[in-house]
Structure 1
């Protein structure tokens, strides 16, 4: 006999209520109360959809973590500390109780580790595909916008760029995958499935950044968005863009992958600008936070598209500067 699936009330009471914060009232009310605190209340929302942002057969715990972490990445880039989130879950006809339990277990682990508890949300049915939308809340003593970059500011990026875009290729079994070692394949796939929100840099951004945003649609395109918002341009040294050993291995196997590395989505790193006199403090605090931070260029005057230059001073134009949803 097939297992009886949870009713909506059972789903909420048994699966998600244990994750709820005190202000979520056990998810037994129609609204929640966020905790008071100093600074601006920062709000962001992102959805992830099966077949678009993750594979339908990906482990449900990892799907839950990715859904939360892409939102936490936005909070980090604004210099905000997380205080909670809302979850909207649209379940297709083939959902199971076991899938939900595993999903909630992954969500609970990250909610605890990132001090970002559940405050409420909604569950509904959909003909498909599975859709998960999270709205995350944070607080920041200084909201770090996209629009504060000024000519002369240095441009930095956290972590390594392009791993997730290559990891998607690994998940799809693209030909280059067969020329990678097992460790490289595992690293790239992990980076696609499980972003690392750079919340450890939130205080540093508040103290030093003139502008910042998370890199979700590709470094080339997202930096261009930041510069447009700031009314500035830039020169970026392509040779300085930080790459992991796995990404370098992939590019060595197929050099054309470099374009994907700098324009593909799902990095969830932070690109930021800061005055040159802040560079030493940025480097020191990033080291203390355990996050790599690399200077890749400088903001310039004007509103032209940023210049991406090779080591021998050739300017590279990318035909597709970022991932596009439409």
Structure 2
């Protein structure tokens, strides 16, 4: 056993040193058995949870600050899609036995940076040791005015389908960042490769859209498992179909460069996941205001189609073709 392992802090010192500085008032100094949230009168609490496992959701050698950032980002993305303002989160971290203070310090820095940016402080959790891989679980809490949470179930025929930001960067970034880089990566310059890798490592949750969606969207969810697969989930929940023009799906300049090097990557961009953008629908009369308000928040929204009658039926237009059956979404199992 190394000297560093022998001298590592115990659980309570570890919490005090690395996680108490991230806690908000509801964390009660992280010295109690639970945290405390006080939603305002007339508000409801929205709850979401995600688990990340080394070797499954990220590479064990990924920068620890990026792992901390992403662990919270995927939860904030869910809250944003529901129109919820972040209020706090709890963290459970199962550390492998070879963890180091340097790793934990960087992890806490990345986690804390996003928590501060989003106004979502730590309010509690648990820290344990495991003989298995590093495992993280975050449960995040947000608030919305009573009855105003944006569900998946509200899309109606005639509504416009929109998506935030750009699609495909996360899936392409995984290929760029991973150990077995495909040949098309060599066609990208360093800036393009860096952009795509960062989009995979540090997704940008669209919490700035929460209030805008709450006021104008009829349905919404985040794009975590691929645009086409997640669209199918929204349509199923709402009992409707859609007409989608794949040529209008927004792509970043680096993603376009990748597709120029290998046009077959279009399918990966539509289905690969890890974008953490917002997929939403809105009535015609709300679209102009919705897009304008999103632009003021610094996040572009792009119309890519329209909701139609016919549960689950999707017609894809444009030069692209629908991905082959079975490849429309990332699967966790």
TM-score by length of 2: 0.95
Pair 304,18 (structure 1): closer, same or farther in 2 beyond 3 Å: closer
Question: What is the aligned partner in structure 1 of residue 33 from structure 2?
Answer: 30
CA RMSD of aligned residues (A): 1.2
Residues 184-199 of structure 1: pairs in structure 2 closer than 5 A? 184-199=192-207
Q: Which residue among 78, 86, 102 is the counterpart of 1:82?
A: 86
The CA deviation at 1:317 is 4.3
1:167 and 2:173 correspond:
yes
Question: What is the aligned partner in structure 1 of residue 276 from structure 2?
Answer: 268
Question: What is the aligned partner in structure 1 of residue 295 from structure 2?
Answer: 287
Question: What is the aligned partner in structure 2 of residue 66 from structure 1?
Answer: 70
Alpha-carbon distance in structure 1 between the residues aligned to 2:312 and 2:304: 18
1:50 and 2:50 correspond:
no
1:182 and 2:183 correspond:
no
Pair 261,317 (structure 1): closer, same or farther in 2 beyond 3 Å: closer
Is the contact made by 1:35 and 1:83 (CA closer than 8 Å) also made in structure 2? no
Alpha-carbon distance in structure 1 between the residues aligned to 2:94 and 2:219: 35
Question: What is the aligned partner in structure 1 of residue 266 from structure 2?
Answer: 258
Is the contact made by 2:155 and 2:240 (CA closer than 8 Å) also made in structure 1? yes
What is the SS of the residue equivalent to 1:82?
Answer: strand
1:316 and 2:317 correspond:
no
Offset from partner CA, 1:282-315 (integer Å, 9 cap, x none): 121011111010000000001133222224xx75
Question: What is the aligned partner in structure 2 of residue 14 from structure 1?
Answer: 17
Unaligned runs of 5+ in 2: none
Unaligned runs of 5+ in 1: none
Alpha-carbon distance in structure 1 between the residues aligned to 2:166 and 2:155: 22
In terms of mean alpha carbon deviation, does 50-59 or 202-211 score higher? 50-59
What is the SS of the residue equivalent to 1:192?
Answer: helix
Is the contact made by 1:310 and 1:316 (CA closer than 8 Å) also made in structure 2? no
Which 4+ runs in 1 deviate beyond 4 A? none
What is the SS of the residue equivalent to 1:217?
Answer: coil
What is the SS of the residue equivalent to 2:152?
Answer: coil
In terms of mean alpha carbon deviation, does 293-302 or 126-135 score higher? 126-135
What is the SS of the residue equivalent to 1:316?
Answer: coil
What is the SS of the residue equivalent to 2:94?
Answer: strand
Alpha-carbon distance in structure 2 between the residues aligned to 1:77 and 1:229: 15
Question: What is the aligned partner in structure 1 of residue 158 from structure 2?
Answer: 152
Alpha-carbon distance in structure 2 between the residues aligned to 1:192 and 1:221: 18
Is the contact made by 2:267 and 2:323 (CA closer than 8 Å) also made in structure 1? no
Question: What is the aligned partner in structure 2 of residue 233 from structure 1?
Answer: 241
The CA deviation at 1:102 is 1.2
Alpha-carbon distance in structure 2 between the residues aligned to 1:285 and 1:200: 10
1:202 and 2:223 correspond:
no
Pair 283,207 (structure 1): closer, same or farther in 2 beyond 3 Å: same
1:96 and 2:97 correspond:
no
TM-score by length of 1: 0.97
Alpha-carbon distance in structure 2 between the residues aligned to 1:321 and 1:89: 32
Is the contact made by 1:208 and 1:274 (CA closer than 8 Å) also made in structure 2? yes
Is the contact made by 2:241 and 2:309 (CA closer than 8 Å) also made in structure 1? yes
Q: Which residue among 299, 305, 316 is the counterpart of 2:313?
A: 305
Is the contact made by 1:308 and 1:317 (CA closer than 8 Å) also made in structure 2? no
Question: What is the aligned partner in structure 1 of residue 251 from structure 2?
Answer: 243
Report the count of equivalent residues. 324
